[in-house]
Homo-oligomer: A and B are copies of this chain.
Amino acid sequence: MTSTLQQENSKQLVDRAIEVLAKGSQVAVRDFVRSLYPAETAHVLESLGPEQRTKIWSVIPPSVMGTILVEVNVDVGSFLLKITDRKDLIAASENLGSDKMVDLLHVLPEPLLSQVIETIGTNNRAQFEQSLRYDEHTAGGMMSQELLTVRGDVTLDVAARYLRLRGKIPATIDSLIVVDRKEQFQGLLPLSQFLSHDPHKKVAEVMDAKATTISYRMPTRDVAVLFEQRKLLSVPVLADDGKVIGLITVDDVVPVIRAEAEHSLMGMAGLTEEHDMFAPVMTSAKRRAVWLGINLLTAFLAAWVIDLFEDAIQQIVALAVLMPIVASMGGIAGSQTLTLVIRGLALRQVSAGNTVSLFFKEISVGLVNGLIWSVVVASVAAFWFHDVHLGFLLGAAMMINLVCAALSGVAIPVALDRMGIDPALAGGVLLTTVTDVVGFMAFLGLATLFLL
């Protein structure tokens, strides 16, 4: 089974799911699902419409439902919760570790929550309640509380014997955490060190005492950047008093990086990264309606600006023909700057110290491109409408709009970010408002002044 699967990419997985479902044999569907990893099942569920999704879900045993529920996006998770039996859900949550459990709680509806919490054994309860205390968007919310700690004054041999007695080591744990009597962090001991050193050496001699540690308060975003930049595999998380309270491993970070990068992409279209591609039509329509409504206000504002110049258009219809060019080019140039700055902000490359030089650079780029394309646009328009003055005004308006676009492309996201508003979400609408209004105003205004 493994050998077939490993040659298959996730797209083929979706196609195979559709194929198996089409054949209609429940046994075949069950066998197919059984061959998948939890996240692969989640991928298939996210890629199918509600009907097929229900069919797949119905063959999944309650004992693994929990591991799949924490993998799907929030939208699909809510859908699955609605079609799942209460009893099954409680069974599903029993098989999760305390950190996964906390993830599940974010999707569980209120009445079920208390029931699930009751099922947690007293042993896990303390750890679980501890987990709830940490903000989901910080290192505390990401970390696993499963730790292997060791004291620095024992030999590698003793530590190894202790590990052997303890039994199976979780696959994601690549290091032991070295602590002193007061559980204060001393260093990190990669498991590979056991295999490249004399067993009689002390742990403290071999450990990495300069290992990176972080506070449980560090935002997930920064944790992800830290892992990427330092190529870390695991990082101990410390409480304010220096006690080690958890461990974040690189596999915890991968979903954060994915979500972070997708957030900008989806946000710029007014969507979220948790969006379900096959959400019911009414749910999708309702969500997107809000975004369209906001943009409609922008469009009406632009229309109102045009209306101010009704007389000019009545006298020179060519103005109506050419005015969308000015607005559209401003929008495109502005969105290039905007995208660049939004990425820079997300990657923490735009800071207080370099915003000003970024400003000047973008305005310069706007000027250069304004110059090039103004000449082109002006020539085409002058030739088309046999009117050199019209061409000249069109070029001038475009120049003004491209510089404004560069200005707002930097200023809007930076300002939003400082106000704590997500620039990926609100930046595009604001920018288009500026480039539309300035574009129409500049072109029609100049025409009113000089052509009428």
Contacts and interface: CB of A to CB of B under 8 A. Distances in A.
Nearest to A265: B265
Interface string A333-351: 1011011101110011111
Interface in A339-380: 339-340, 342-344, 347-354, 357-358, 361, 364-365, 368-369, 372-373, 376-377, 380
Interface stretch (A86-94, A104-112, A323-331): A323-331
B296 A321 contact: no
A215 B324 CA distance: 51
Contact of A222 (B9, B291, B364): B9
A230 B151 CA distance: 33
Contacts of A343: 262, 265-266
A292 interface: yes
Contact of A14 (B2, B231, B328, B353): B353
Copies of this chain, count: 2
Contacts of A364: 281, 285
B336 A270 contact: yes
Interface stretch (A25-33, A130-138, A299-307): A299-307
A451 B250 CA distance: 64
A354 B276 CA distance: 14
Contacts of A298: 328
A210 B2 contact: yes
A439 to B, nearest CB: 10
Interface string A1-32: 01000110111111101110000000000000
A408 interface: no
Nearest to A371: B285
Contacts of A228: 39, 254-255, 258
Contacts of A230: 37, 39-40
B9 A225 contact: yes
A97 interface: no
A303 B321 contact: yes
Nearest to A210: B2
Contacts of A361: 49, 278, 281, 284
Interface in A158-184: 160, 163-164, 166-169, 171-174
Contact of A18 (B40, B262, B354): B354
Interface stretch (A58-66, A77-85, A115-123, A195-203): A195-203
A253 interface: yes
B349 A277 contact: yes
Nearest to A161: B195
A369 to B, nearest CB: 5
Given A9-B225, A254-B254, A325 B299 contact: yes
Contacts of A282: 368
Interface string A274-293: 01011001101100110111
A251 interface: yes
Nearest to A333: B292
B173 A324 contact: no
A447 to B, nearest CB: 13
Interface string A29-54: 00000000101101100111100000
A336 to B, nearest CB: 5
Given A10-B225, A47-B349, A47-B351, 10 more contacts: A9-B222, A13-B348, A19-B353, A39-B229, A191-B195, A227-B254, A233-B251, A269-B340, A285-B365, A296-B373
Interface of A: 2, 6-7, 9-15, 17-19, 37, 39-40, 42-43, 46-49, 160, 163-164, 166-169, 171-174, 190-192, 194-198, 210, 212-215, 218-219, 222, 225-231, 233, 250-251, 253-255, 257-258, 261-262, 264-266, 268-271, 275, 277-278, 281-282, 284-285, 288-289, 291-293, 295-296, 298-300, 302-303, 306-307, 310, 313-314, 317, 319-325, 327-329, 332-333, 335-336, 338-340, 342-344, 347-354, 357-358, 361, 364-365, 368-369, 372-373, 376-377, 380, 432, 436
